[in-house]
Amino acid sequence: MRQPIVFVTDFGRDDAYAASLTGAAMRVDPHSICVEGTHGVGAGDVLAGAYHLKALARAFTGGAVLCAVIDPGVGTTRRAIAIKAGRLRCVAPDNGLVSYLWNETDPEDRWAISLDIPPGTSPTFHGRDVFAPAAAELASKDGFDVAGDLIDDPVLLPAAFAERRGNAVHGVVAVVDHFGNAITTIRAENLGDARVRTVSWPAGSCEGLVTTYAEVTTTVGALIGSAGHLEVAGNCVAVVTVGGPQVGDAVVVELA
Amino acid sequence: MRQPIVFVTDFGRDDAYAASLTGAAMRVDPHSICVEGTHGVGAGDVLAGAYHLKALARAFTGGAVLCAVIDPGVGTTRRAIAIKAGRLRCVAPDNGLVSYLWNETDPEDRWAISLDIPPGTSPTFHGRDVFAPAAAELASKDGFDVAGDLIDDPVLLPAAFAERRGNAVHGVVAVVDHFGNAITTIRAENLGDARVRTVSWPAGSCEGLVTTYAEVTTTVGALIGSAGHLEVAGNCVAVVTVGGPQVGDAVVVELA
Amino acid sequence: MRQPIVFVTDFGRDDAYAASLTGAAMRVDPHSICVEGTHGVGAGDVLAGAYHLKALARAFTGGAVLCAVIDPGVGTTRRAIAIKAGRLRCVAPDNGLVSYLWNETDPEDRWAISLDIPPGTSPTFHGRDVFAPAAAELASKDGFDVAGDLIDDPVLLPAAFAERRGNAVHGVVAVVDHFGNAITTIRAENLGDARVRTVSWPAGSCEGLVTTYAEVTTTVGALIGSAGHLEVAGNCVAVVTVGGPQVGDAVVVELA
């Protein structure tokens, strides 16, 4: 069955670039089902892109082809890759965008290919000329049949993975979302079954975890968000305005 | 026939939240037709959401399922509802979002259901786990068959409805649109056949009504916009910059 | 075969206007394939719209119906038109939006029609009541069969076309894109085979052309972008912040 193509880019929505991906996919397969994941990733922000790809993978559990184009190195020698992680497939420049998709899939159930670059490709727009056509090709059928060489070492971002040191888990804020919640690289599985004692960042801290945004009664609280990452959240307020952390800030969870 | 699902949220477009609704709908029905109504409602702005739902209902007259998620109370005890208003169906948190859809439909032709919350629902993301799946279920067939109890008292926002006092109609600015026009809660039907003498707000006023934006020759004018609400409009200028009202301002129409 | 409808407007994405076009198209043809080209053109910026239409025409080479609504004169006597340029069809207010589409198509292969305005059309929203329905009509079948009179003089914008004077080509910045690149009206064909010596604008200049964004090693460089227009580009930086030109600035290319 034809699967949807879900685009994740830093193109913004105010130019023709985003829709050009849809056009390019439709050239390969006029019946492509094109979904706007988000075109709002910060320019060149690969870590944020990796997080949004993971969040979308959780939503498209029936299978989809993610097409990620956050690509400051376009036209240089960086590889273009396709991966298969369980039922999900993803095409992207090989710069760390697939960090979570790759890391969180059983090694038995993941494959990666270094894509051939078609002749005539524009040196400034691989999204249109490489990634969208490859995504459309993959989405039009099952399997993982695209032109290129099998590889086993897609680039992963070290910064995407929190570190456990003793009773503490050290991460960073990867994304501040539209509501002003600061989403970290600390994942539910990093905490295991231990109780959270405190969550701290350069400018402040809070105690324990809550379950819903509405429970945050003081200025900020911490909770596990809908993609399984710890976030510092406010009650209808951007956390940075009430002492919370911002993108890139170190966040430490102390476990009981 | 399968109907489109039209999303209206305050999620913005820069995260994965908006597309997660599409993913959740496709899990229920892989052939879902997902349309982005708007994800640009102000965070928690239920009155603006109610207005945009009405405007979209006017555009999708062939029938559609509106899926509205402006939901500051997510995870609390507020009800999740589905309504049928004529040919249109809508799912939403029960916080007033359906005010216009419900109020403007003949009582004989409207129904409401308090939706069951499925087990395993994330306490922070009912859009993905409750509303989008219910919308996909409804959109995949005709009728109004979803799990829940019939109710007859969806929450309506008092602020959504202008009041007639003598020869005056009192409303507020519900939305300032992308062009800077200030759209009020005063509807064409509130004016009846009477001639408009003046439209006034805290910082100014204008005389009578015009028909097109191009007719506004002085700083601001008033007209009945494309969804049937009175708006204070400028000639290619945001009205707030030329003495017009802003969101929340009281607006009074004096009739002849 | 049914073709996609690609919308290009200055509506923004925060109101119901953009999706109202989709709703209107679906009323004419419930199976319409609606694609968001962009709704982010600056209010009333016809030159930017003309550029984005050209960029999208390059992406949708399999044929599409572009539906352009940047329409400050809505409700006045300006014509509403449909054109056919090669395989591509486009509906728009007759204010210059089709400048590039028309100019860059062989006169033997282009046609234009002045569209009839249906009775009951809202004087403030021809996008919903005129252009989207006409686009859906065209997209549902091949050919160029819509109600109206053949014309041969669609409005073209003089400002869209750079001028050659001796060894110099004079243009302007039409669009600053999401990445801060300043895209001009100077097209690859204006340069012919001549070598570019310098590109200059009121506040600065640069030497020669590069091929990829990554090659820009000094503050700004010039290259031919993905739609065939010369742009002044930075290396991961908005050019205006490093001495580059802004929208409307004159840009001159001196050829060797």
pLDDT in tens, A136-152: 999 999 889 888 999 99
pLDDT at B139: 96
* Helix A132-139 / helix A17-28 crossing angle, nearest 10 deg: 40
Residue A125, chain C, CB below 8 Å: the answer is yes
Read off the pLDDT band of A226 (50, 70, 90): confident
A87-109 residue pLDDT tens:
999 999 999 999 999 999 999 99
Cα–Cα distance, A215 to B92 (Å, whole number)? 21
Q: Is B58 on the interface with C (CB under 8 A)?
A: yes
Task: Pick B212's closest partner by Cβ from C43, C44, C123.
Answer: C123
pLDDT value at B115 more than 80? yes
Q: By the CB < 8 Å criterion, does A223 face chain B?
A: yes
Structure-token pair, residue B111? 């129904």
What distance in Å separates residue A45's CA from the closest CA in chain C? 11
Closest C-alpha to A127, from A2, A10, A4, A3: A10
* Residue A71 backbone dihedrals phi, psi, to 5 degrees: -145, 60
State residue B91 phi and psi, 5-degree precision: -115, 145
Per-residue pLDDT 10s for chain C (256 aa) are 899 999 999 999 999 999 999 999 999 999 999 999 999 999 999 999 999 999 999 999 878 999 999 998 877 788 999 999 999 999 999 999 999 999 999 999 999 999 999 888 887 789 999 999 999 999 999 889 888 999 999 999 999 999 999 999 999 999 999 999 999 999 999 999 899 999 999 999 999 998 877 788 778 999 999 899 999 998 878 999 999 999 999 999 999 9
- Percent of chain A having pLDDT more than 90? 83
Cα(C236)–Cα(A27) distance, rounded to whole angstroms?
30
Q: What's the pLDDT at A76?
A: 76
User: How much helix, strand and coil, in percent to the nearest 5, is found in chain C?
Assistant: 25, 35, 45
CB contact under 8 A, B178 and C12: yes
DSSP reduced 3-state for A17? helix
pLDDT of residue C73: 80
**Whole-model pTM?**
0.95
Say whether A13 and C41 touch across the interface (CB within 8 A). no
- pLDDT, residue A81, reads 97
Q: What is the C-alpha to C-alpha distance for residues C43 and B234, in angstroms, rounded to an integer?
A: 13
User: Which amino acid is it at A229?
Assistant: H
pLDDT band at B27 (very low <50, low <70, confident <90, very high): very high
Of A84, A116, A95, A96, the C-alpha closest to A3 is: A84
Instruction: For residue A122, list chain C residues with Cβ-Cβ distance below 8 A.
Output: 226
C59 to A15: CB separation less than 8 angstroms, yes or no = no
pLDDT > 80? residue B76: no
pLDDT of residue C129: 92
Contacting residues for B166 by C-beta, under 8 A, at least 6 apart? none
Q: Residues B24, B29, B31, CA angle at the centre, nearest 5°?
A: 110
E strands within A119-166?
A: 148-151, 163-165
Q: Which structure tokens are listed for C9?
A: 């407007």
User: How many of the other CB atoms lie within 10 Å of CB of A106?
Assistant: 8
Q: Are A256 and A196 in contact (CB under 8 A)?
A: yes
Across the interface, whether the CB atoms of C177 and A17 are under 8 A apart is answered yes
| Number of CB atoms found within 10 A of residue B197's CB | 14
Euclidean distance between CA atoms A138 and A242, whole angstroms: 45
Beta bridge partners of A67: A7, A91
For chain A, give the mean pLDDT: 94
The answer, yes or no, to whether residue B83 has pLDDT greater than 80, is: yes
Helix/strand/coil for B223: strand
Does position A51 have pLDDT exceeding 90, yes or no? yes
Residue window 76-95, chain C: list those with CB within 8 Å of chain B.
Answer: 76
Determine the pLDDT at residue C82: 98
**Distance separating alpha carbons of residues B118 and B128, to the nearest angstrom:** 12
Q: List all chains that touch chain B, counting a touch as 3 or more CB pairs closer than 8 Å.
A: A, C
Q: Please compute the mean of the pLDDT values over residues B61-81 and round it to a whole number.
A: 88
Opening angle at CA C214, ends A23 and A153, nearest 5: 80
For residues B128 and B144, what is the distance between their CA atoms, to the nearest angstrom?
A: 20
Contact C12 B226 (CB under 8 A): no
CA neighbor of B54 nearest in space, from B18, B99, B20: B99
Helix axes C46-59, A17-28, angle to 10 degrees: 20
Residue C120 touches partner B, C-beta closer than 8 Å:
no
Q: Tokens 């993982």, residue? A: A144
Average pLDDT over residues B224-245: 91
Nearest chain C alpha carbon to A35:
C35
Q: What is the pLDDT of residue A237?
A: 86
pLDDT band at A75 (very low <50, low <70, confident <90, very high): confident
Question: What residues contact residue C142 under an 8 Å CB cut-off, 6+ apart?
Answer: C1
Q: Which carries the bigger pLDDT value, residue B214 or residue B134?
A: B134
- Nearest CA to CA, how far is A159 from chain C (Å)? 21
Residue A148 is encoded by which pair of tokens? Answer: 């290129």
Specify whether the CB–CB gap between B94 and B154 falls below 8 A: yes
For the record, the structure tokens of B142 come out as 């005709």
Q: Which value, in Å, is the radius of gyration of the alpha carbons in chain B?
A: 19
Question: How much is the pLDDT for C199?
Answer: 98
In the numeric block, which tokens belong to residue B145?
Answer: 């068959």
Percent of chain B with pLDDT over 70: 100
Q: Write down the pLDDT at residue A82.
A: 98
The residue with tokens 């109890």 is: B149
Arithmetic mean of pLDDT, A17-22: 96
Q: Is A35 on the interface with C (CB under 8 A)?
A: no
What is the Cα–Cα distance from C227 to C76, expressed in whole angstroms?
33
The pLDDT of residue C81 is: 97
Q: How many CB pairs under 8 A join B and C?
A: 100
Which 3 state secondary structure label does DSSP give B73? coil
pLDDT of the residue at C242: 92
Q: Are A90 and A69 in contact (CB under 8 A)?
A: no
Is C61's CB within 8 Å of A27's CB? yes
ipTM for the whole complex: 0.93
Q: What is the pLDDT of residues B231-240, one digit of tens each?
A: 999 887 899 9
Which of A5, A9, A10, A14 best probes binding to C when mutated, by most C CB atoms within 10 angstroms?
A14
Q: How confident is the model at residue B183 (pLDDT cuts 50, 70, 90)?
A: very high
Of B67, B80, B68, B180, nearest in space to B123 by CA: B80
Give the per-residue pLDDT at B142. Answer: 86
Give me the pLDDT at residue C218, please. Answer: 76
Mean pLDDT of chain B: 94
Does residue B217 have a pLDDT over 80? no
User: Which pLDDT does position B240 carry in this prediction?
Assistant: 92
Nearest to A26 among C4, C37, C178 (CB): C4
The 10s digit of each residue's pLDDT in A160-218 is 999 999 999 999 999 999 999 999 999 999 999 899 999 999 999 999 998 877 788 77
Could you tell me which chain C residue has the CA closest to the CA of A20?
A: C59
Neighbours of C30 (CB within 10 A): 15
Residue A39, pLDDT > 80, answer yes
At B118-130, the pLDDT tens digits run 888 887 789 999 9
Q: How large a percentage of chain A has pLDDT more than 70? A: 100
Helices B17-28 and A46-59, interaxial angle, to 10°?
20
Average pLDDT over residues B30-35: 96
B202 CB within 8 Å of a chain A CB: no
Reading phi first (left if > 0) and then psi (alpha if -120 to 50, else beta), residue C198 is in beta
Exposed/middle/buried for residue A192 (C-beta within 10 Å: 0-12, 13-18, 19+): exposed
